[in-house]
């Protein structure tokens, strides 16, 4: 399968995966993207730049959804859901202000091959992610909105400790449907 002819047409799904392999869907995901951050050091000669060395690469992720389940919040914060006969609650930060657990996040976009019209999924997987904040927005005449801010750091293993081919922040793949 050649990946050169596939174009995306709409975010289809978002999922968090834990180190035990359990997967949680992000309901009604509408956006998932990262901004690359890195340290750049310029090497300058007498009158010209000789080169630039980059290191400490990470991605700052933003994940936006119009719904979220309590099991997703539990997975990304490490907090427990407290249930009673009248309802349930879960803390949006981390209990005791501890660091959130590492998770994997995957965003899938529906794609089509421009040559033969075959369908595929374009998937970006961030392998080692910590969700720093979960912001819930509720407004009149607007959809319920959840915005998660996260950091993805380089790793040479996926979330289940399976070796990757190289150290990386994320992987982009295309798969036939």
**Percentage of the chain with pLDDT > 70?**
97
Residue-level pLDDT at 128: 97
pLDDT tops 80 at residue 131: yes
Q: Which of 21, 52, 57 is nearest to 38 (CA)?
A: 57
Cα separation, 133 vs 8, in Å, equals 28
pLDDT tops 90 at residue 9: no
If you average pLDDT over residues 69-80, what whole number do you get? Answer: 90
| 47 part of a folded domain | no
Cα separation, 34 vs 14, in Å, equals 14
Phi-psi region of 97 (alpha: psi -120 to 50; beta: other; left: phi over 0): left
Banded model confidence at residue 5, pLDDT cuts 50, 70, 90:
confident
Q: Which of 110, 117, 77, 82 is nearest to 95 (CA)?
A: 77
Torsion of CA 118, 164, 172, 135, to 10 degrees: 130
**Percentage of the chain with pLDDT > 90?**
58
**Chain mean pLDDT for the chain:** 90
Containing 174, the helix (H) or strand (E) segment is strand 170-176
Banded model confidence at residue 158, pLDDT cuts 50, 70, 90:
very high
Cα separation, 10 vs 121, in Å, equals 10
pLDDT tops 70 at residue 109: yes
If you average pLDDT over residues 90-100, what whole number do you get? Answer: 79
| 101 part of a folded domain | yes
| 45 part of a folded domain | no
If you average pLDDT over residues 135-161, what whole number do you get? Answer: 93
DSSP 66: S
Q: Around Cβ 169, how many Cβ atoms within 10 Å?
A: 20
Banded model confidence at residue 2, pLDDT cuts 50, 70, 90:
low
If you average pLDDT over residues 20-44, what whole number do you get? Answer: 92
| 44 part of a folded domain | no
Residue-level pLDDT at 114: 79
CATH number at residue 148: 2.30.110
Cα separation, 77 vs 16, in Å, equals 12
If you average pLDDT over residues 78-88, what whole number do you get? Answer: 91
If you average pLDDT over residues 51-70, what whole number do you get? Answer: 92
Cα separation, 26 vs 28, in Å, equals 6
| 127 part of a folded domain | yes
Task: For residue 103, give its domain range.
Answer: 6-37+52-176
pTM: 0.86
Containing 61, the helix (H) or strand (E) segment is strand 49-65
DSSP 73: H
The total number of structural domains in the chain stands at: 1
Alpha helices, DSSP H only, in the chain?
A: 70-77
Residue-level pLDDT at 153: 96
| 125 part of a folded domain | yes
| 43 part of a folded domain | no
Residue-level pLDDT at 49: 84
């Amino acid at each position: 399968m050649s990946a050169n002819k596939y174009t995306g047409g709409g975010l289809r799904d978002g999922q968090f995966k834990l180190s035990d392999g359990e997967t949680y869907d992000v309901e009604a995901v509408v956006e998932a993207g990262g901004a690359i951050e890195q340290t750049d050091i310029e090497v300058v000669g007498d009158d010209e730049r000789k080169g630039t060395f980059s290191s400490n690469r990470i991605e700052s992720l933003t994940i936006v959804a119009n719904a979220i389940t309590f099991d997703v919040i539990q997975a990304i914060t490490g907090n427990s859901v407290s249930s009673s006969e009248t309802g349930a609650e879960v803390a949006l930060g981390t209990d005791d202000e501890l660091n959130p657990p590492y998770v994997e996040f995957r965003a899938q976009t529906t794609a089509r091959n421009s040559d033969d019209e075959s369908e595929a999924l374009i998937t970006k997987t961030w392998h080692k992610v910590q969700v720093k904040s979960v912001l819930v927005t509720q407004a009149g005449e607007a959809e319920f909105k959840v915005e998660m801010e996260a950091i993805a750091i380089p790793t040479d293993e996926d979330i289940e400790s399976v070796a990757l081919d190289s150290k990386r922040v994320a992987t982009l793949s295309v798969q036939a449907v």
